[in-house]
Amino acid sequence: MANNQWDERFSGSDYYYGTQPNAFFKEELNKFKAGRILMLGEGEGRNGVYAAQHGWQVDAFDASTEAKKKALALAQQRNTTLNYAVQNLEMFVPQENMYDAAGLIFIHLPEALRKQIHARCIAALKPGGRIILEAFAKEQITKTSGGPKSIELLYSTDIIAHDFHTMETILLERETVELDEGEHHRGEAVVIRFVGEKK
């Protein structure tokens, strides 16, 4: 999706996916000691703001200027701060061995870019750093609760296991869940959930 399409999506007054953090991200992040976290495709800030409220130093990235405006407004409303940069993921090259954690929540990319971004996220982690990922599974294609309408942009446990094979897998599962994330992630959904630790 082009930047102007993301800007159009996020330009309304309502928060497209709500203002509460993703349930899986929240649950897993609460298990970690706060440090520095990388949030990719952060959108309107619901996950990054939650992390910042709980003591994390948050570096957030997204391609949408409108998303950044709303994320910073949400952070201000909740008396916290984000370091938020607008950048195309194709150009994203984080510093290596920088982060204690990375959040990848519902980021759906074409195969070549997906592999590149996942590898760069691993490189960006310190040894012992963890990735928290939730994304729609291929079985989501028949659902109306959100996600891409292209099977190539949906994931499987095999895809995630391959992309993150250099990490220690803490959790990797396909789950059917009930989403309640704003108006556009609502209802029964099939997701892939992954937590991995850098060796």
pLDDT in tens, 124-154: 999 999 999 999 999 999 999 999 999 999 9
Compute the residue count for the chain: 199
Per-residue pLDDT averaged across 86-93, rounded? 90
Which segments of 87-148 does DSSP mark as H helices, in order? 111-124
For residue 14, the model assigns a pLDDT of 84
Amino acid in position 134: E
Work out the number of other CB atoms within 10 angstroms of the CB of residue 131. 26
- Indicate if the pLDDT at residue 3 is higher than 70: no
For residue 86, the model assigns a pLDDT of 94
State which CATH number among 3.40.50.300, 3.40.50.150, 3.40.50.970, 3.30.565.10 fits the domain covering 3-198: 3.40.50.150
Identify the sign of the CA torsion 48, 103, 148, 116.
Answer: positive
Q: Tokens 């990735």 label which residue?
A: 131
Between 13 and 172, where is the model more confident?
A: 172
Kindly list the domain boundaries of the chain, sorted by start residue.
3-198
For residue 1, the model assigns a pLDDT of 44
For residue 2, the model assigns a pLDDT of 47
- Indicate if the pLDDT at residue 4 is higher than 70: no
Its pTM stands at 0.94
Find all residues with CB under 8 Å of 127, minimum gap 6, and list them: 97, 198, 199
Per-residue pLDDT averaged across 102-118, rounded? 97
Find all residues with CB under 8 Å of 140, minimum gap 6, and list them: 146, 147, 154, 189, 190, 191
Strands (E) across 99-166 are located at: 99-105, 125-136
* 8 Å CB contact between 59 and 39: yes
Q: Tokens 């998303």 label which residue?
A: 67
